[in-house]
Amino acid sequence: MHSLDDLLHPVSPEQFRAEYVGRKPLHIPAAGDERKAAILTWADFNRLLGQGSLWSAAHLRLMRNYVAVPPEQYCHPVATPQGEVLRPWPQKVEVFLSAGASLIANDVLTIHEPLMQIGETLGRTFAASIGANIYCSFQGVQAFGTHFDNHDVVVIQTGGTKVWNLYESRADNPIENFPDDDATRRWFEQSRGALMQQVTMQAGDVLYLPRGWYHDALATEGPSLHVTFAITPLHGRTLLALLNIEAMKDPAYRAFAPPATEDGGAALAAHLADYGQILARIAASPAFSEEVARSQTRMTPRPPSFTLPERKPVTLYRTTGRSFPACSTTVRETYDWAIAERQFALEDMVAHFQSLSEGDVREAVAAAEAAGAVQRV
């Protein structure tokens, strides 16, 4: 399950991008492929739940018929070096599950290697940040009512069966979260439109939903276990934040705006136009495109690759005071870092610059060494 081909099979990645991404839902039956269901078995989930220090009230939630179980009913305070934390009480969690509650484990991407591998694949595919939640539910009890998400969703059913209802309505590129209350639930139900498709998810099935697509799900036969991957690329608000960082370097952008009453508003209009020109100039620059590309890469951290007890070798360099070779803006950042460090480990530079591949960093250091700007220690 390391590649997009594995995840989507028998649908090709090219067909997925051309026909489905951002356009419409896609259900991919397992068709006998057990690898997808194997990413999180019931035994895996039980083992994770047994690692008590992983969980807090924020990361392990209980839901029953659309309503969250108050944390104080299944958690107890535990003193930690960072302060008091509400830890789920396993025996109480089991009581609620026996009574039909659903269990949601949030932010699990990095605690189970198969999920991390899929998260890396999705992150590279969508140039997005990836989150993962685990949902455990039981026959006839619905955790969440009809809703839509502010991100694209990939669901992998890993145990049991769950029925998903997909509705005709779709929100237009939502980014805001709604309050979790009765009024919001009624609004979702009133605005969801007619039932468009009902999908029965079996172990190993995959479901893709573009953001904003109205849906709900229910375990109809016995227990159900699935993982939901949340896919959130950069959008206008996040790009505007990056633009603002660059624009703040321009004194004209930092200038105070004149009163709207000055010159009948003409001065303010001219000032706002200047702001727009500054932002437009930055947005159109190759340097900003490079920065956006780096931000996209940073959203998908490299997976860990520990080999203990073997320790990986460290290659030490020091700067010589000679000029570094001509390079792109991206590589220039690695050279500036080397100059500030004066002596550094190549492996530390690779780790520091998550937006560059290890090969790119090594090539940059090799070029600097050939130019005499750095030398091995």
- pTM of the complete model: 0.90
Can you give the chain as a three-state secondary structure string? CCCHHHHHCCCCHHHHHHHCCCCCCEEECCCCCCCCHHHCCHHHHHHHHCCHHHCCCCCEEEEECCEECCHHHCEEEEEECCEEEEEECHHHHHHHHHCCCEEEECCCCCCCHHHHHHHHHHHHHHCEEEEEEEEEECCCCCCCCCECCCCEEEEEEEEECEEEEEEEEECCCCCCCCCCCHHHHHHHHHHCCCEEEEEEECCCCEEEECCCEEEEEECCCCCEEEEEEEEEECCHHHHHHHHHHHHCCCHHHHCCCCCCCHHHHHHHHHHHHHHHHHHHHHHCCHHHHHHHHHHHHHCCCCCCCCCCCCCCCCCEEEECCCCCCCCCHHHHHHHHHHHHHCEEEHHHHHHHCCCCCHHHHHHHHHHHHHCCCEEEC
Q: What percent of the chain shows pLDDT beyond 90?
A: 81
Q: Is the pLDDT of residue 102 over 70?
A: yes
pLDDT at 119: 95
pLDDT at 306: 86
pLDDT at 221: 85
Q: Across the chain, what does the average pLDDT equal?
A: 93
Q: Is the pLDDT of residue 270 over 60?
A: yes
Q: Is the pLDDT of residue 1 over 60?
A: no
pLDDT at 48: 96
Query: pLDDT confidence of 196, banded at 50, 70, 90?
Result: very high
Residue-wise pLDDT for 291-350, tens only, equals 999 899 989 878 888 889 999 999 999 999 999 999 988 899 999 999 999 999 999 999
Residue-wise pLDDT for 124-143, tens only, equals 999 999 999 999 999 877 77
Q: How far apart are CA 293 and CA 357, in angstroms?
A: 13
pLDDT at 56: 94
Q: How far apart are CA 175 and CA 173, in angstroms?
A: 7
Query: pLDDT confidence of 181, banded at 50, 70, 90?
Result: confident
Residue-wise pLDDT for 23-82, tens only, equals 999 999 998 888 999 999 999 999 999 998 899 999 999 998 888 999 999 999 998 888
